[in-house]
Amino acid sequence: VFADVVQAPEDPILGVTVAYNKDPSPVKVNLGVGAYRTEEGKPLVLNVVRRAEQMLVNDGSRVKEYLPITGLADFNKLSAKLIFGVDSPAIQEKRVTTVQCLSGTGSLRVGAEFLARHYHQRTIYIPLPTWGNHPKVFALAGLFVKTYRYYDPATRGLNFQGLLEDLSAAPSGAIVLLHACAHNPTGVDPTFEQWEQIRQLMRSKTLLPFFDSAYQGFASGNLDADAQSVRLFVEDGGELLAAQSYAKNMGLYGERVGALSIVCKTADVATKVESQLKLVIRPMYSSPPIHGASIVATILKDREMYHEWTIELKAMADRIISMRHQLFEALRAKGTPGDWTHIIKQIGMFTFTGLNTEQVAFMTKEYHIYMTSDGRISMAGLSSKTIPHLADAIHEAITC
């Protein structure tokens, strides 16, 4: 009965790892998926995460019962504080409902399903370009996906004018997906002043912000600074959705731990919204997993562990920034044609190199360097040892 099923293509991002794993070359480098690696090219489990896990193991009273549909209560409260700020009036006024979800993707999906059922405007605007999974998540939830201009290939920076024009032309009430910081794939963020202009425009047109916050702490190394776009929109008293992921900032990729928060106008509305989120979640996966959320809650509620986390997080962010400088210098030293300053100007996990599909294919074939075909490289996958190899590959791809 399944004979007519056709072979599907690999995922444009996760498929890069599949191809990389099949390559026997000893010099291969995976710069596809956004996953942090150490200078030795190894995955990193944070010390503070290991400590939290040990504490959870030693705590003999812990059980493996089902969590409530909305997840671990402590985790939800602490996650809201992390993104909105400890003194957020919206939290104090109980206008925020937060539910534990399956990392960033699951949080986006639950939010999108809720909007498709309960929000009057089913069109969502996503930046062009954006994370490859965004359009699929929203379309499958029943939203109509449109794009707004974001990246300008000529400047390798923000097309702010295009962004404002497209959001001005969006129908009143439309949902707008915003990357809270460290835009994926471009590494290009609006300035604080530009965020303020975006906020004013969106509020004047009653456009509904849906923030994707997958890199809090990764852009600048500072958790508060990386949440300032979201907090700007909360401070004006308006509504919004925010999806949080702990994959990158706590290195909990495979634990699938994240949260969806919906900021409402009143506490009463927030209570009703939460009751409906439960109806979205229960038939999808019943309730979220306990382990990752327990790790996060253990770290966030302990002042000393929280501090240790911020230090480890900053070390990851700093290593990525150092990779940017080293790659930039390596290309400059080789005299590679072109202006490569965007490597040091862009922020977060990725550099949107400007390399085209053919150049990427060339680098994979000749140099065993794996990256997404749009020219995005994960800076977190680089090390001082692999930078010369990447610089050689880019140089030849550009000049041959």
- Rounded to an integer, what distance in angstroms lies between the CA atom of residue 139 and that of residue 198? 24
Residue nearest to ligand LMR (CB): 34
Rounded to the nearest whole angstrom, what is the least distance from the CB of residue 185 to ligand LMR in the complex?
7
Please work out the total of residues on this chain that contact ligand LMR, with binding judged by CB under 6 A.
6
**Residue 184 interacts with ligand LMR (CB under 6 A)?**
yes
Assess contact for 216 and 181: CB atoms under 8 A. Answer: yes
Instruction: Tell me whether residue 212 is one of the annotated catalytic residues.
Output: yes
Please tell me whether residue 180 binds ligand LMR under the rule CB under 6 A: no
**Long-range CB pairs of 326-331, under 8 A, 24+ apart, other chains included:** 326/382, 326/384, 326/387, 327/351, 327/379, 327/382, 327/387, 327/390, 327/391, 330/387, 330/388, 330/390, 330/391, 331/391, 331/394, 331/395
**Helix extents (H) in 141-266:** 160-169, 192-204, 228-235
| 316 counts as binding ligand LMR under rule CB under 6 A | no
Is 131 labeled as catalytic in the residue annotation? yes
Name the residue among 389, 394, 308 with its Cα closest to residue 351: 394
Q: Taking the complex as a whole, how short is the minimal distance between the CB of residue 32 and ligand LMR, in angstroms? A: 7
Q: Which of 131, 195, 309, 340 is catalytic?
A: 131
The nearer residue to ligand LMR, 68 or 129, going by C-beta atoms, is: 129
Closest to ligand LMR by CB, 166 or 212: 212
Nearer to ligand LMR, 134 or 368 (CB): 134
Residue 114 makes contact with ligand LMR by CB under 6 A: no
**Angle between helices 387-399 and 357-367 in degrees, nearest 10:** 130
Marked catalytic residue, from 248, 309, 340, 374? 248
Say which of 28, 166, 189, 212 is annotated catalytic.
Answer: 212
Which CB, 16 or 174, lies closer to ligand LMR? 16
Q: CB–CB of 234/84 below 8 Å? A: yes
**Burial of residue 115 (number of CB atoms within 10 Å: 0-12, 13-18, 19+):** buried
**Shortest separation between residue 64's beta carbon and ligand LMR, angstroms:** 27
Contacts of 332 by beta carbon, 8 Å cutoff, 6+ apart: 340
13 binds ligand LMR (CB under 6 A): yes
Q: Is 85 in the site for ligand LMR (CB under 6 A)?
A: no
The yes or no reply on residue 347 touching ligand LMR (CB under 6 A) is no
> Which positions from 31 through 50 interact with ligand LMR, judged by CB under 6 A?
33-34
**94-112 burial by CB neighbour count: b if 16+ within 10 A, else e?**
ebbbbbbbbbbbbbbbbbb
| Binding residue (CB under 6 A) for ligand LMR from 131, 233, 309, 367 | 131
Q: Strands 350-352 and 376-378, how do they pair?
A: antiparallel
The H helix count followed by the E strand count for the chain is 15, 13
Residue 340 CB, shortest distance to ligand LMR, in Å, is 22
Q: How far is the CB of 389 from ligand LMR (least distance, A)?
A: 21
CB of 186 vs ligand LMR, minimal distance in Å: 12
Our CB check for ligand LMR shows the closer of 52 and 141 to be: 141
Q: State how far the Cα of 269 lies from the Cα of 95, in Å rounded to an integer.
A: 8
Nearer to ligand LMR, 184 or 351 (CB): 184
Main-chain phi, psi angles of 351, to 5 degrees: -115, 130
Chain residues binding ligand LMR by CB under 6 A are 13, 33-34, 131, 133, 184
Q: Which residues are catalytic?
A: 131, 212, 248
